[in-house]
Amino acid sequence: MSEYQVQNPATGEVVEEFPTATDEQIRDALERSHKAYLSWRDTPVEERTAVLRRVAEIYTERAEELAGIIGLEMGKAVPEGVAEVKICNRIYNYFADNAAAFIEDELLRGPAGDDQAYLLRKPVGSLLGIMPWNFPYYQVARFAAPNLALGNTIILKHAPQCPRSAAMMEQIFVDAGLPADAYINVYATNDQVSEVILPSPLNQGVSLTGSERAGSAVAAAAGKNLKKVVLELGGSDPFVVLDTDDIDATVETMFGTRMGNNGQACNSPKRMIIMDDIYDEVATKIAEKAKALIPADPYADPGKLSPLSSISAAERFVGQVEETVKDGATVLAGGERIEGPGAYVQPVVLTDVKKGNAGYYDELFGPAFMLFRVADDDEAVTLANDTPFGLGSAVFATDRGRAEKVADRLEAGMVYINTPEASREFLPFGGVKRSGIGRELGPLAMDEFCNKQMVYKKA
């Protein structure tokens, strides 16, 4: 059985398999990627960004087709898949519009005189991207767009369950006019990453979005070979509700945000921290909404509950829930596998999750709501920061000043005030603590794999 295969999570059926690359094919890809870099780096930025504009157009033109591919690969409802494609359009256009300004020479201020010093921003070479299954197009776009705009080239290892979308992205770059081998899709193994790609002098760095375990392994291999890394490793984001003048609207926001992509998002708000005076009503309403969701095929009825990404993902998620309950948590709704074929799980609402409980520090990667009752703002902040992760966070209050004071005390790479998590092309994305290293998107993205070359001219 091939490691790379399309298995419909709604039925469990294996639809197609793809051959894993040989070591020789991986070495050939490295050679070709480096050779492409030698010309792509010298291509005027206006020509590089013209390719990105065409990529953006193609994503829009093929939105329904692209959404259908990932619906079959990892169970994403078609409307959500179309929305993901639209985000990709904005990302490619954003870097097409702004790349020239982002790499302008930067004058370095110093003592008055005739001497002159400045920074040049230059590409570094062929990069490896290791991307996850939960947002197959978006994750690639936020890595590929800034680096291709800068003049780097890319070898992309996608998740084994996303081989069709991986191949489609490579084809889109070809169709958009990207020079041959500036972007190469490889069906590589984890061993080939650590033993063939990262040790190669032709590779200049790696960006990974995935689990802590994967990030630790890749960072170790990269460090051994002195390669730059960017890591986005998930989170246990707090969603802090200090007060509300519309509980129904607040619950709708909380539920809709958490259930985006069926809860399978690194920056999904996984811990709902709620003030005591509104906690009971919020908990009751969230449990009612969780119980009401009905499973459906993401193609046939995308307005209902989609499957998790795979049978193994569903089994792993239910196992986490069962362990959390065994340790003392209370279930208000759901948490079981739904009978029948496919990777369907009823959304679970958990309370009484205490320190020492299996779910307190772990990331529950699926449709899980963990509800926490707090008495005041200080308790909310303490609880919000009591996590090894530090990716995103959200604070809601009718008094925006109060929300801002709480937000300022949160240990997270991203903070949202009176709005849930927001994936925007102009907002830098990344975290602190065990949520990773580096930033993607926004004006910071092009500085990650960039030679900030200092030039000093003596008068």
How many angstroms separate the CA atoms of 282 and 286, rounded?
Answer: 6
Judge contact between 139 and 441, C-beta under 8 A. no
Query: Is residue 12 left, alpha or beta, with left meaning phi > 0 and alpha meaning psi from -120 to 50?
Result: left
**pLDDT for res 302:** 59
Q: Residue 357 is encoded by which pair of tokens? A: 């409980």
Judge contact between 94 and 424, C-beta under 8 A. no
**pLDDT for res 394:** 96
Helix (H, G, I), strand (E, B) or coil at 197: helix
Instruction: Give me the long-range contacts of 220-229 (CB less than 8 A, separation at least 24).
Output: 221/193, 221/194, 222/198, 224/198, 225/198, 225/199, 227/198, 227/203, 228/124, 228/204, 228/448, 228/449, 229/205, 229/437, 229/438
Q: What's the average pLDDT block by block, 10 residues per block, for the chain (459 residues)?
A: 87 94 98 98 98 98 96 92 96 98 91 83 98 97 98 98 97 98 97 97 97 94 97 94 95 93 91 97 95 79 80 93 93 90 92 91 91 97 96 96 97 95 89 96 96 91
Q: Residue 25 is encoded by which pair of tokens? A: 């094919």
Judge contact between 123 and 150, C-beta under 8 A. yes
Name the residue ranges covered by the structural domains of the chain. 4-233+435-457, 237-417
Judge contact between 430 and 420, C-beta under 8 A. no
Looking at the DSSP bridge assignments, the partners of residue 239 are 272, 394
Interhelix angle 377-385/400-407, rounded to 10 degrees, is 40
Interhelix angle 63-74/45-61, rounded to 10 degrees, is 70
**pLDDT for res 300:** 66
Q: In terms of residues, how long is the chain?
A: 459
458 φ, ψ (degrees, to nearest 5) = -80, 135
Judge contact between 332 and 351, C-beta under 8 A. yes
**pLDDT for res 303:** 63
Query: Is residue 354 left, alpha or beta, with left meaning phi > 0 and alpha meaning psi from -120 to 50?
Result: beta
pLDDT tens readout for residues 290-346: 999 888 777 666 567 889 999 999 999 999 999 999 999 999 998 889 988 889 999
How many angstroms separate the CA atoms of 294 and 454, rounded?
Answer: 59
Give 354-412 as a DSSP string.
-TTSHHHHS---SSEEEEEEESSHHHHHHHHH-SS--S--EEE-SSHHHHHHHHTT---
How many angstroms separate the CA atoms of 71 and 116, rounded?
Answer: 55
Q: Residue 60 is encoded by which pair of tokens? A: 């829009």
**pLDDT for res 347:** 93
Select from 435, 441, 426 the least CA-distant residue to 232: 435
Q: Residue 441 is encoded by which pair of tokens? A: 């998107």
**pLDDT for res 459:** 74
β-pair type (394-396, 416-417): parallel
Task: Answer yes or no: pTM beyond 0.75.
Answer: yes
**pLDDT for res 407:** 97
352: Cα within 13 Å, side-chain hemisphere: 8
For residue 428, give the amino acid letter: P
**pLDDT for res 253:** 95
What is the DSSP-derived secondary structure letter of residue 201? T
Fold of 237-417: Aldehyde Dehydrogenase; Chain A, domain 2 (3.40.309)
Give the residue numbers marked as catalytic: 232, 266
**pLDDT for res 301:** 63
Give the full edge-to-edge strand order of the sheet including 348-351.
330-333, 348-351, 368-374, 269-275, 237-241, 394-396, 416-417
Judge contact between 457 and 120, C-beta under 8 A. no
Q: Residue 5 is encoded by which pair of tokens? A: 């295969």
Q: Which of 3.40.50.300, 3.10.310.10, 3.10.20.30, 3.40.605.10 is the CATH number of 4-233+435-457? A: 3.40.605.10
How many angstroms separate the CA atoms of 37 and 244, rounded?
Answer: 53
